[in-house]
Chain A
């Protein structure tokens, strides 16, 4: 009887839910479809299937055909910025994972004065608007005489990524049974042995998940990187930003699809690891 009363609402709600998912995914789907559109001028008008735009990313533009040389970047340049981005993401996410995990363990397993201060402080980098953190770091680095470059980007990323890793690992620690740790201590294992043999294996999915999410956030960060990148240290998002400012061309669309595929894959693994029950 209850089911009957809800039924028309149910159908309406189902329709709405599908619309909601469509709103999230249709714009991304359109990019994918139209990255194969042969029309070099108007991307909205379908004139045929082509893989040319993907080819320009790996092989550069050929001299013949309808390539607009001014809007087609060379593969060396594209792979240069991709290398920068991966270097930054790998370094920043690794350091942030160590720092975030250590902090999560300290706050979950110890009682100390000032704990609430740390809990609030760790949320701040996620709450302060990106632009404020970006200019603050810019002023700081310039004032301290540190030359802007990949190093400053890595440091800037570590600052806010540590908080993200902290949140993910803390969630894992909160749901964990502490009896094994106590048993290990009772049986005479030192704190380091207990950590390495008991705690770490149990929180590992959280640590790896936190690392992957930090990696993706670093790889995609625009605003903070925008302010603290030096002249010779362009990352992939800054490169896309510069390309978008010059105008929309099919090559960006193809590059966008490749980036989309990569981040979707890594984020999926990260989210699945985070949600997996031990």
Chain B
């Protein structure tokens, strides 16, 4: 018995040390830093200083720092782009999941493999591809001009459109796989029953198919929303100077202006949104489980 206990302790020790020291403690320090005063030369002063949040959210401040609504506006932009990314990923992946689920067993494995594969190719190279495509002298503009559809290059790059497109592209496997796992289990006899009972295609879709595949859509949406909200690489390249997301502000606070407490506060704003989303989902799932049991 004790031997079994020792084996268990031995197996769990490394992960406990790694996640304890290099994950939980650092996250805790970020929380502490967000309430400290930024030092003159980039460090921190160990004094209570809630104004990092004051700068962002706009509650009473001291004389030196002013509330600037730009930080909230940028956060709102990040939320908007993250939501749009989720929306368009859903629209693109939903029918694709049905397409794959209706392939024969041999093709299914191959197509699934093809859809998963881009996740493991360099993120930067996938963004680079869209830089080449969207530039004023890029492939899309060159193609449209060749076909005489436009006389002047379209301003595709450095826009909210480019940022959302880039994020949809890099997060497609994240959205596709949970939806597919759900669609694959769909019971087609329910759909046939609905049709036999006289439901029209719209009724069958909204009252049978959509509710049955909702869990996969919700899971995919959460997995896409989280990295989209904190993203800074995609807006840095495809958004240029025109599109700022909170991730870009965090990056600059840490590596350029060296105001670590302010950057920590911004990072916690992102974390708070993530935790909120996960909590809503947990409560919702819990309630549904209770409802199913009743």
- Residues on A lying within 8 angstroms of B by beta carbon are 2, 10, 13-14, 16-17, 20-21, 23-25, 27-28, 30-31, 34, 42-45, 98-100, 102-103, 105-106, 110, 112, 118, 121-122, 124-125, 127-133, 135-140, 143, 155-156, 158-159, 162, 166, 191, 213, 216-217, 220, 222-223, 227, 237, 240-241, 244, 248, 252-253, 256, 259-260, 263-264, 266-268, 270-272, 275
Contact = CB atoms under 8 A, between A and B. Distances in A.
A13 B95 contact: yes
Contacts of B19: 121-122, 124-125, 159, 162
B23 A159 contact: yes
Residue among A20, A43, A100, A125 with most chain B CB within 10 A: A20
A249 B30 CA distance: 38
22 contacts: A2-B192, A16-B96, A20-B99, A21-B111, A24-B118, A27-B126, A27-B129, A27-B132, A31-B132, A99-B14, A103-B12, A118-B12, A122-B19, A125-B23, A127-B278, A128-B274, A136-B267, A137-B22, A159-B18, A162-B19, A227-B255, A240-B125
B11 A105 contact: yes
Given A13-B102, A98-B14, A135-B254, A216 B120 contact: yes
A259 B96 contact: no
B125 A31 contact: yes
Interface of B: 3-4, 7-8, 10-12, 14-15, 18-19, 22-23, 25-27, 29-30, 33, 92, 95-96, 98-100, 102, 109, 111, 113-118, 120-126, 128-133, 135, 137-139, 141-142, 169, 172, 192, 226-227, 229-233, 237, 247, 250-251, 254-255, 260, 263-264, 267, 270-271, 274, 278
Given A31-B125, A139-B260, A248 B132 contact: yes
Contacts of B227: 129-130
A256 B250 contact: no
The secondary structure that dominates the A interface is helix
Given A44-B142, A137-B22, 12 more contacts: A13-B99, A25-B118, A27-B129, A44-B135, A102-B11, A106-B11, A110-B8, A129-B227, A131-B251, A159-B23, A248-B131, A267-B117
Contact of B8 (A20, A106, A129, A158): A106
Contacts of B237: 244
A135 B239 CA distance: 22
B18 A128 contact: no
A169 B203 CA distance: 42
Contacts of A122: 15, 19
Nearest to A166: B15
A135 B264 contact: yes
A260 B8 CA distance: 41
Contacts of B142: 44-45
Given A102-B14, A129-B229, A271-B116, A136 B27 contact: yes
Contacts of B118: 24-25, 28
Contacts of B130: 27
Given A98-B14, A155-B22, A227-B254, A16 B129 contact: no
Nearest to B133: A27
Nearest to B14: A99
Given A128-B27, A256-B122, A30 B139 contact: yes
B22 A140 contact: yes
Nearest to B12: A106
Nearest to A155: B22
A248 B135 CA distance: 10
A229 B76 CA distance: 31
B23 A13 contact: no
Nearest to B30: A136
B126 A131 contact: no
Given A216-B120, A222-B233, A127 B274 contact: yes
Contacts of A213: 120
A110 B3 CA distance: 13
Contacts of B22: 137, 140, 155-156, 158-159
Contacts of B23: 124-125, 133, 136, 159
A260 B121 contact: yes
A34 B14 CA distance: 46
Contact of A24 (B115, B230, B251): B115
A271 B177 CA distance: 14
A275 B113 CA distance: 10
Contacts of A140: 22, 25-26, 29
B271 A128 contact: yes
B233 A223 contact: yes
B125 A267 contact: no
A275 B26 contact: no
Contacts of A252: 128
A244 B226 CA distance: 25
